[in-house]
Chains A and B, each alone.
Chain A
């Protein structure tokens, strides 16, 4: 039975607002050229902020560039290649920018006919502003984590499970970062969390999945 531990989990919440940059692209060359110069925040936004924005269906692609290649350019080959980029795998945003540019350069070099998006379907480079605040809630025991996650706002889920992955030096979600040092009995649950792909679902869906995975692995504290 998990015991209450010394360092409680601090539950934070976050709210995102989007900023327009006025920078747009209408074909793959323009996308490449703009990606070379846009602020790092734009790259960050288009890889990491998707879950906080309105989507009717589960997102089909893991990042906005891939999604636009499919929906705006109708270039599915490019969309598939862009969708394979894992932002958590890059050391920093500049490395991610280079990986993105490599994919785009390769597609341009293939020399096929350049497809254009309609004027009202251009890619708009946006940047994020994330306001983070302490909810005042604390989780004392791992056994309380599943129930606590079930009651969290989607902003908390985003901050602790999605946005945490881009925070160096560890670049892992906050739940694992809290559980792993507690001892080998939490290795299995940590592995279960590591296997939850934070993309391709909504935050509400992600919250339910995390809650169930934790409930399966962690008995409730007495």
Chain B
């Protein structure tokens, strides 16, 4: 067993890693290409940075390619992102032209790899139009949707649906998000990597070192939300919840930590709004972190008493599992994949309003023993369900299924 696989076996058990190795046997030597729109920032890039090396370790010729694009392209795809998650946003024809032109340029650049690949995973809407440039492709193309597509703005979905439909299969994170498409639609929740800088164990000294610059008082209760500065993550709602808690627990502090990604032009504007709402409260820390600040986020999550992820729409919300892996109770918005990760009352609490987040925060700060018990439950739940090894197993299963059996109920290999 390689060193990498051995490290995973140490966390999830040898039986789990052994199963992955056997499942990968029919895929050894096959070429798999993952394509997305950013190499850093956001959950997709994080997952791919871990998944691709693991697939290579299993003998699969896995590649990760990142789309290049100009400003109108990213502006267009950000509008797609918002519209697909339900905002009534229309996209001007000039931006749609830019979307198609950028996909054409990337198709030409990536043609040698994509034409002959056995499997191509196209992540999210940004590269969805690539497929139109490969009418004689050899392999199976799979569209992987990481966002909540349950109630898309119809005009934008009408535009994108033909590109998506041209793929051989789609993958959504949960059934609620899936659209009806003319090909098999698989369900694969995402996962976290227990060995990454963001999730690995840290010593108390490492945590102190990472937090030294932020001015956080380690002796007082700390609430934390880690997420992009994005309207759907409701950072303003979190500030409201913090104010409600502060009235009862004056010592409480709040950290809103996040960054931006190159494909998110709205991040800076949202940050400005959050900073204005934060005002000059010395106990409210708004941290704009670089995309590679994984250890800092790890330290913040470990230092927090309670982690909040009060999204109002969410693709999946992997920061929930990240915090749970560190034995933290998460108060999450009752939306999307957050509902799959939090067993309400057992591993955290699901809430629908800032008032709900405040109520649960006060309860947990009052009942420290419950807080610790639920935190232990949370880690075990993530170990069994939301680690990278589970997601990899499902991708391998999917590829074997798509490659061998179509949608047959049982495929023997």
Contacts and interface: CB of A to CB of B under 8 A. Distances in A.
Contact of A15 (B15, B172, B394): B394
Contact of B396 (A15, A19, A204): A15
Contacts of B275: none
Interface string B369-413: 000000001000100111000000110111011000101111111
B185 interface: yes
Nearest to B336: A120
A128 B413 contact: no
Interface string A1-33: 000000000000101111111100000000000
A155 interface: yes
Given A126-B175, A129-B397, A132-B412, A19 B346 contact: no
A173 interface: no
A15 B413 CA distance: 11
Interface residues of B, number: 45
Contacts of A37: none
Q: Which of B19, B25, B178, B346: most chain A Cβ within 10 A?
A: B19
A20 B175 CA distance: 6
Contacts of B408: 129
B347 A56 contact: yes
Q: Which of A44, A57, A132, A155: most chain B Cβ within 10 A?
A: A155
A18 B186 contact: yes
Interface in A39-88: 41, 44, 54, 56-57
Nearest to B400: A131
Contacts of B186: 17-20
A222 interface: no
B194 to A, nearest CB: 16
B176 interface: yes
Nearest to A45: B409
Contact of A132 (B178, B396, B413): B413
B411 A129 contact: yes
Given A15-B23, A56-B346, A153 B15 contact: yes
Given A56-B377, A57-B346, A129 B19 contact: no
Contact of B384 (A41, A54, A135): A54
A81 to B, nearest CB: 25
B22 interface: yes
B381 A56 contact: yes
Contact of B187 (A13, A126, A152, A155): A126
B343 interface: yes
A78 B134 CA distance: 51
A131 B401 contact: yes
Given A22-B180, A132-B413, A133-B23, 19 more contacts: A13-B22, A17-B187, A17-B401, A18-B175, A18-B187, A20-B172, A20-B178, A20-B185, A20-B187, A41-B409, A54-B189, A56-B346, A57-B343, A129-B407, A130-B410, A131-B23, A133-B25, A153-B19, A204-B384
Pairs A-B, 3 closest by C-beta atoms: A56-B343, A22-B180, A124-B175
12 contacts: A15-B23, A15-B393, A17-B394, A19-B187, A21-B185, A22-B179, A54-B189, A54-B381, A56-B346, A132-B412, A132-B413, A153-B16
